[in-house]
Amino acid sequence: MLDIIKERLAITNEKHTPGPSQCQPPAWQAEWAASFRRVEDLLDYLGLPAALAGQSGAAARLFAFRVPKAYADKIRPGDPDDPLLRQVLPSAWETVARPGYTEDAVGDRQAIAAPGLLHKYHGRVLLITTGACAVHCRYCFRRGFDYPESQLTRRRMQQALAYIAADDSIAEVILSGGDPLALDDGHLADWLASLDAIPHVRRIRFHTRLPVVLPARVNAGLAGVLSQAKAKLTVVIHANHPNELDAAAGRALALLRQAGAGLLNQSVLLRGVNDRADTLAALSEALFGYGVLPYYLHLLDKASGTGHFDVPTAEAVTIHRQLQTRLPGYLVPRLVREVAGMPAKIPVMPADSGKV
């Protein structure tokens, strides 16, 4: 019976909708279900003119619009240029094809070692545990990724675990997606227990935006599941702007720390969002205030439909240098780009600045 319920949950998760309606869903799932799914509704909520939706319809057909209320509440009402709004508002620019922008910008496809499992770098694998995300970020490099093909059903989960168990060079498993915390506690407990049963897996990492965009997800139940893990846990959150870190996100982060997770942040350098040293310095300070260290600042991956967010490399290097003059080294994220086929994310050096 339990299995049937879990299968149901897996299926509903895949459809980007929260848990079953026949039993009381946790509060976070209800909150997730109540997300904005129409651009007009969000604009109305923020006191912005409906005309701002512009031709966003075509863009939203390519990649659906979705914003939880907890995130909408951090957007400044009445400000069409708000840096958080920019990350989620579909734009007609997304429909413009640009040279160099592709559906598989980072070579994920060639790294698929088993369904839903990417083995790109030595010693660590990345699992696409679900295709669902609480928020749809318009710059997302996985927006073109074929999730249904790679999602981990129960059988595929066994295949992925068998792959990991057979390669003792794999010391770290990254639960990613989509957003791994979009899975319910039962699924996460299954993952952690299965990975803990593989002796060479010493570290488990989550790549998640939920503590920032739907902090209610981080509840006592989740903390309980995480604190059971034997492997060392790291949670890499994803915040791009200091306004994303409010008291609710702070509570979620505190709970994750109490559950024993080390906390890091990754950001994407985005035009019109965080393309100033001031903003990035404030972000690092805010993160540190919540016990989170900055990890990576990614150059935009050139995924189709995201070109309007691009900050050219030379400018990125300048911004990063300014950041280095303002902050202690441990608060400066590494500026990196991902190059398909390379054995690691590549640090962006001043010498690169002439190249594209």
Ligand X SMILES: *Cc1c(COP(=O)(O)O)cnc(C)c1O
Binding site for ligand SF4 (CB under 6 A): 133, 135-137, 140, 142, 178-179, 209, 238
Of the candidates 28, 79, 252, 65, the one whose C-alpha atom is nearest the C-alpha of residue 140 is: 65
Q: Which does 135 bind (CB under 5 to 8 A by kind): ligand X, ligand SF4, none?
A: ligand SF4
Nearer to ligand X, 86 or 207 (CB): 207
| Residues in contact with ligand X, shown as a per-residue x/- string from 337 to 356 under the rule CB under 6 A | -------xx-----------
| Residues 52 to 71 in contact with ligand X, rule: CB under 6 A | none
> 316, 348 in Cβ contact below 8 A?
yes
Under rule CB under 6 A, residue 111 binds ligand X: yes
Under rule CB under 6 A, residue 163 binds ligand X: no
The answer for residues whose C-beta is within 8 angstroms of residue 320's C-beta and 6 or more apart is 297, 332, 335, 348
Least Å distance, CB 351 to ligand SF4, is 29
Q: Which of 109, 124, 203, 271 is close enough to bind ligand X by CB under 6 A?
A: 124
> 78, 46 in Cβ contact below 8 A?
yes
Whether a cis peptide bond, with omega within 30° of 0, leads into 178 is yes
Q: Which does 337 bind (CB under 5 to 8 A by kind): ligand X, ligand SF4, none?
A: none
Least Å distance, CB 178 to ligand SF4, is 6
Widest distance between CA atoms in the chain: 60
User: How far apart are the C-alpha atoms of 294 and 323, rounded to whole Å?
Assistant: 12
Nearer to ligand SF4, 136 or 308 (CB): 136
| Cα distances (Å, whole numbers) of residue 123 to 170, 192, 203, 204, 343 | 4, 18, 10, 12, 11
- Part in contact with ligand X (CB under 6 A); list of ranges 38-46, 66-74, 117-125, 132-140: 117-125
Task: Give phi and psi for 156, each to the nearest 5.
Answer: -70, -30
Q: Which residues bind ligand X (CB under 6 A)?
A: 111, 118, 120-121, 124, 126, 174, 344-345
